[in-house]
């Protein structure tokens, strides 16, 4: 532990054998009689950019009429019931829906590219740049939104950014229609020529965040003995608590409980997957749950503790892979995902696809509740975060990239009031939304991708929903 000027440094860590545990923001880290903007409690905006593939039922002709994605009302008076976003109703004050944008960069620009929509879409999502058609190493797209932000503010944290995914990724060789698999497998691009690998295994994420085990052998021994990384820092925690007030002790205990609970769930998953019982995902690493729901929750929990301890402020999270035929029984639909997206515009099948969309969106509420209940400075992590959820495809039945599903959650440190539905004019580039997001994140830029102008994410008038 390191103490400075009789208060606790925001960079305080607890160290044990192979373990480096950063701490959440505590009152002891905020010097008394110091301007808030100059303290550890000054607002630091976190970003999670989530992609879900295959568009939405609300982008189909029938789904538009049913308001399956975009609600009928625009501005601040809108109703989410009946659509894929209905589970977000309790978080409406944090919600900004951006509807009717297009992703021209994902369209076929030449005859050889026709039919390759599934294999270039993900690369366009956060870059809004048209990928070069190649199966070699000479890939080219654009720098992604998350990496633009990470380059601006990522050096202030131990990890500039992290890239997570749920489904299997190849990151090598060619896929289909003349496209390299990296276009399908990554949504995060450090440069136009450098796609970043996505991490599928929650255990790998945990180890990167907490330095859990100096060697693979130590990590393996800890798993075999069902030990916790917290066992090695017990004395340091006890000493630290002696110097903390009651509120800080409670906050630290809650944080350590969260870390231990994540670790316990990882150990349970690994034990089950190592038992020899048949797996639904036999090719997956030992730390990957067979359950989509459990996997997503683990990844969200890891993001929440990373944000709380300020280990990183930037995540890209790919929740699906194009052309995936995974089944989501929790949605109440047993049709495979890709097959369900090709519904032939039959109303009953569009309804089923909407139920899958609804289930996917509902998983995000778990993350939102975590962030909302985690104090951060004068507000919560949700006040000081921006969660992006969308797709680079619109109506996947016809592989188009119009009327894209997109919403934002969080107040971004007071820059985005929420409780707003923005319906853009026909033909508006999705890049206009990304440009507005970057400006809200305090990145000084007037252009991103094929943007023409930044959207107004504050709406027609300011409200008191978010603190200025």
* 321, 464, 468 from 196: Cα distances, Å: 15, 39, 34
Q: Please give the Cα distance from 408 to 356 (Å, whole number).
A: 20
Q: What residues pair up with 291 in beta bridges, in sequence order?
A: none
Closest CA to 50 of 333, 392, 341: 392
Q: Please give the Cα distance from 362 to 350 (Å, whole number).
A: 18
SS3 category, 183: helix
Pairing of strands 46-51, 314-318: parallel
- Edge to edge, the sheet with strand 95-102 lists 162-165, 314-318, 46-51, 385-390, 406-409, 95-102, 420-429
SS3 category, 421: strand
For 13, list phi and psi in degrees, rounded to 5.
-130, 155
pLDDT recorded at residue 17: 78
Give 327-344 as a DSSP string.
Answer: --GGGT--S-HHHHH--T
> Tens-digit pLDDT profile for the chain (468 aa)?
444 444 788 888 998 878 889 999 999 988 765 655 556 667 899 999 999 999 999 999 999 999 999 999 999 999 999 999 999 999 999 999 999 999 999 999 999 999 999 999 999 999 999 999 999 999 999 999 999 999 999 989 999 999 999 998 766 667 889 999 999 999 999 999 999 999 999 999 999 999 865 566 666 666 666 678 899 899 999 999 998 999 999 999 999 999 999 999 999 999 999 999 999 999 999 999 999 999 999 999 999 999 999 999 999 999 999 999 999 999 999 999 999 999 999 999 999 999 999 999 999 999 999 999 999 988 999 999 999 999 999 999 999 999 999 999 999 999 999 999 999 999 999 999 999 999 999 999 999 999 999 999 998 765 444 433
Question: Structure tokens of 216?
Answer: 């693979």
Pairing of strands 7-8, 3-4: antiparallel
Closest CA to 398 of 50, 51, 62: 62
For 216, list phi and psi in degrees, rounded to 5.
-60, -35
Give 15-74 as a DSSP string.
Answer: EETTEEEE----GGGS-TTS-GGGSTTS---EEEEEE-SSB-GGGSHHHHHTTSSS-S--
Cα pseudo-dihedral 140, 141, 142, 147, rounded to 10:
-90
Question: Structure tokens of 260?
Answer: 């231990």
Q: Which residue is associated with the tokens 């089950």? A: 272
For 43, list phi and psi in degrees, rounded to 5.
-60, 130
Sequence ranges of the domains in the chain: 45-200+295-468
Q: What residues pair up with 96 in beta bridges, in sequence order?
A: 408, 420
Q: Please give the Cα distance from 133 to 120 (Å, whole number).
A: 8
Q: Please say whether the beta carbons of 409 and 382 come within 8 A.
A: yes
Which class is 45-200+295-468 in CATH? Answer: alpha beta
Q: Please say whether the beta carbons of 365 and 407 come within 8 A.
A: no
Q: Please give the Cα distance from 442 to 149 (Å, whole number).
A: 9
Give 81-139 as a DSSP string.
Answer: TTSTTGGGGGGGGGEEEEEEEE-GGGS--SGGGTT-HHHHHHHHHTT--PPP--SSS--
* 2, 230, 260 from 10: Cα distances, Å: 10, 20, 21
Closest CA to 264 of 230, 234, 217: 230
Q: Please give the Cα distance from 395 to 350 (Å, whole number).
A: 11
Closest CA to 401 of 86, 157, 124: 124
pLDDT recorded at residue 224: 61
Q: Please give the Cα distance from 441 to 384 (Å, whole number).
A: 10
Closest CA to 301 of 396, 356, 371: 371
pLDDT recorded at residue 437: 98
Q: Please give the Cα distance from 30 to 36 (Å, whole number).
A: 8
The residues near 390 (Cβ < 8 Å, ≥ 6 apart) are 50, 51, 52, 125, 404, 405, 406, 407, 430
């Amino acid at each position: 532990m390191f103490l400075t000027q009789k208060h606790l440094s925001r960079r305080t860590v607890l160290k044990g054998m192979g373990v480096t545990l950063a701490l959440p923001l505590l009152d002891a880290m905020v010097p008394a009689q110091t301007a808030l903007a100059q303290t550890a409690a000054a607002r630091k905006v976190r970003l999670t950019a989530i992609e879900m593939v295959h568009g939405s039922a609300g982008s189909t002709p029938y789904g538009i009429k049913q308001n399956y994605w975009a609600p009928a009302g625009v501005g601040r008076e809108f109703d989410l019931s009946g659509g894929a976003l209905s589970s977000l109703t309790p978080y409406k004050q944090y919600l900004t829906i951006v509807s009717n944008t297009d992703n021209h960069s994902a369209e076929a620009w030449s005859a050889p590219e026709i039919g390759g929509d599934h294999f270039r879409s993900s690369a366009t999502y956060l870059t809004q740049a048209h990928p070069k058609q190649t199966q070699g190493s000479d890939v080219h797209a654009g720098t992604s939104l998350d990496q633009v932000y990470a380059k601006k503010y990522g050096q202030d944290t131990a990890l500039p950014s992290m890239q997570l995914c749920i489904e299997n990724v190849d990151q090598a060789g060619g896929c289909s229609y003349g496209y390299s698999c990296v276009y399908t497998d990554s949504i995060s691009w450090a440069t136009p020529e450098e796609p970043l690998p996505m991490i599928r295994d929650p255990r790998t994420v945990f180890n990167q965040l907490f330095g859990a085990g100096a060697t693979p052998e130590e990590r393996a021994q800890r798993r075999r003995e069902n030990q916790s990384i917290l066992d090695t820092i017990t004395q340091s925690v006890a000493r630290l608590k002696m110097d903390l007030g009651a509120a800080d002790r409670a906050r630290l205990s809650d944080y350590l409980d969260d870390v231990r609970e994540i670790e316990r769930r990882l150990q349970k998953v690994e034990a089950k997957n190592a038992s020899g019982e048949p797996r639904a995902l036999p090719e997956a690493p030992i730390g990957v749950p067979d359950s989509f729901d459990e996997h997503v929750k683990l990844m969200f929990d890891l993001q929440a503790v990373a944000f709380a301890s300020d280990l990183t402020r930037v995540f890209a999270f790919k929740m699906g892979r194009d052309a995936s035929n995974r089944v989501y029984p929790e949605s109440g639909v047993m049709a495979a995902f890709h097959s369900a997206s090709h519904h032939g515009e039959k109303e009953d099948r569009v309804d089923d696809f909407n139920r899958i969309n609804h289930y996917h969106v509902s998983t995000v509420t778990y993350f939102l509740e975590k962030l909302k209940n985690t104090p951060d400075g004068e507000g919560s992590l949700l006040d000081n975060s921006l969660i992006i959820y969308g797709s680079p495809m619109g109506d996947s039945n016809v592989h188009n990239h119009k009327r894209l599903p997109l919403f934002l959650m969080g107040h971004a440190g007071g820059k985005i009031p929420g409780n707003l539905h923005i319906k853009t004019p026909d033909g508006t580039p999705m890049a206009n939304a990304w440009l507005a997001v970057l400006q809200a994140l305090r990145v000084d830029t007037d252009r991103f991708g094929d943007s023409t102008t930044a959207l107004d994410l504050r709406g027609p008038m300011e409200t008191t929903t978010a603190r200025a």
